[in-house]
């Protein structure tokens, strides 16, 4: 733990002003109550308070190593009684011999010093107590800030760990579907299977490099989705139709990395894979009032969906990620209506916290 005064310029200036005020009061007191000459009062005040200010800086280490939280009150009092005794002895001896070494002052100074000794001891004890209390306040403040920083770092680490866990759930799910598709193609269309393997490799290389706790541009997320859709188009051909309606002003918006990919994956799995008809996947995006609103819609077979197929892991992960990243649980809405499955995600931009309207 660094010294809170010696290593801080602002605190050192405040400390110097404090001792300047103490020195002025010291000199005025000697001049008014002990009839000291102006020269004697100034010299005495300067030397004794300069010494005390230097000793005061060293008292930080006495406070630091007194371990107030672990020692009992008896040991604490004993430690400070010892420290204040040593402080006063050093201060009075060095101060007396320093003043007595000044030729103009040394004559009769011993008598003057003895007459002010009780006052010097009492004021010394009072100033010692004040300095020690200030140091304890510093110490508790620094410890408090350190605990806050540690708690903040711990929360960040927990958040990253949770996001990593969510990502680790999504990746195997995607790989399972992709490998099944490749396996099917190897039996009928080997060239398409080879092309799909290459595209899958490119997609995974990009996805794995992304950290789950980072944000990136919406345009980059769309590029990544396009790589995924290229893979699936090889498998499904004309049965898969993709429509984009994305406002250009939204391309620079920021969203959590890889958060849209599971939605597109679900649209393929529960739309195209479960239907013999042409299925359209629509990606719509717009910006408003400090938010990016993204909608992903796909056709689906209502009769097949009645069987309750699917565990919903992808959607659950997205909900948890949004809550972890933004601290809110009102950023996603899901609807099924007349063979259309629609997911709406809302991403706050620039820390804005406007009221969200998810009406469609």
Which residues, other chains included, contact 83 with Cβ-Cβ below 8 Å and sequence gap of 6+? 59, 62, 128
Angle at 117 between CA 114 and CA 121, to 5 degrees: 165
Whether residue 209 has pLDDT greater than 70: no
Spatial distance between the Cα atoms of 176 and 235, rounded to a whole number of angstroms: 14
Rg (CA), the chain: 37
Whether residue 138 has pLDDT greater than 60: yes
* Res 360: pLDDT: 41
Give mean pLDDT, residues 181-209.
78
- 284 falls in which pLDDT band (50, 70, 90)? very high
What is the CB neighbour count within 10 angstroms for residue 349?
A: 17
Angle at 172 between CA 194 and CA 179, to 5 degrees: 25
* Res 352: pLDDT: 47
- 218 falls in which pLDDT band (50, 70, 90)? very high
* Res 354: pLDDT: 47
Give mean pLDDT, residues 100-126.
91
End-to-end CA distance of the chain: 57
| Region 162-348: CATH code | 3.30.565.10
Both tokens of 47, joined, read 């030397």
* Res 254: pLDDT: 92
pTM: 0.51
Spatial distance between the Cα atoms of 350 and 341, rounded to a whole number of angstroms: 30
Domain ranges of the chain: 9-115, 162-348
């Amino acid at each position: 733990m660094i010294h809170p005064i010696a290593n801080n310029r602002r605190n050192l200036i405040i400390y110097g002003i404090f001792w300047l005020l103490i020195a002025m009061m010291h000199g005025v007191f000697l001049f008014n109550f002990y009839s000291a000459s102006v020269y004697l009062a100034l010299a005495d005040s300067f030397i004794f308070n300069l010494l005390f200010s230097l000793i005061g800086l060293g008292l930080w280490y006495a406070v630091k190593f007194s371990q107030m939280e672990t020692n009992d009150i008896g040991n604490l009092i004993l430690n400070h009684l010892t420290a204040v005794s040593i402080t006063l002895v050093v201060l009075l001896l060095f101060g007396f011999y320093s003043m007595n070494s000044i030729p103009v002052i040394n004559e009769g100074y011993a008598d003057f010093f003895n007459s002010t000794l009780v006052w010097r001891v009492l004021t010394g004890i009072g100033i010692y107590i004040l300095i020690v209390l200030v140091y304890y306040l510093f110490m508790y403040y620094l410890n408090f800030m350190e605990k806050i920083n540690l708690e903040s770092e711990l929360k960040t680490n927990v958040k990253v760990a949770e996001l990593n866990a969510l990502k680790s759930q999504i990746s195997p799910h995607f790989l399972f579907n992709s490998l099944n598709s490749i396996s099917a193609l190897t039996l009928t269309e080997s060239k398409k299977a080879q092309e799909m393997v290459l595209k899958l490799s490119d997609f995974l290389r990009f996805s794995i490099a992304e950290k789950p706790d980072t944000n990136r541009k919406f345009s980059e997320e769309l590029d990544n989705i396009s790589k995924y859709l290229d893979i699936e188009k090889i498998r499904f051909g004309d049965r898969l139709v993709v429509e984009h309606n994305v406002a250009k002003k939204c391309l620079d918006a920021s969203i959590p990395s890889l958060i849209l990919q599971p939605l597109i994956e679900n649209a393929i799995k529960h739309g195209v894979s479960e239907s013999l008809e042409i299925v359209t996947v629509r990606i719509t995006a717009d910006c408003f009032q400090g938010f990016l609103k993204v909608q992903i819609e796909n056709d689906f077979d209502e009769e097949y969906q009645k069987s309750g197929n699917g565990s919903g892991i992808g959607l659950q992960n997205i909900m948890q990620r949004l809550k972890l990243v933004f601290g809110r649980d009102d950023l996603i809405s899901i609807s099924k209506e007349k063979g259309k499955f629609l997911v709406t995600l809302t991403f706050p931009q620039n820390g804005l916290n406007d009221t969200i309207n998810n009406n469609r």
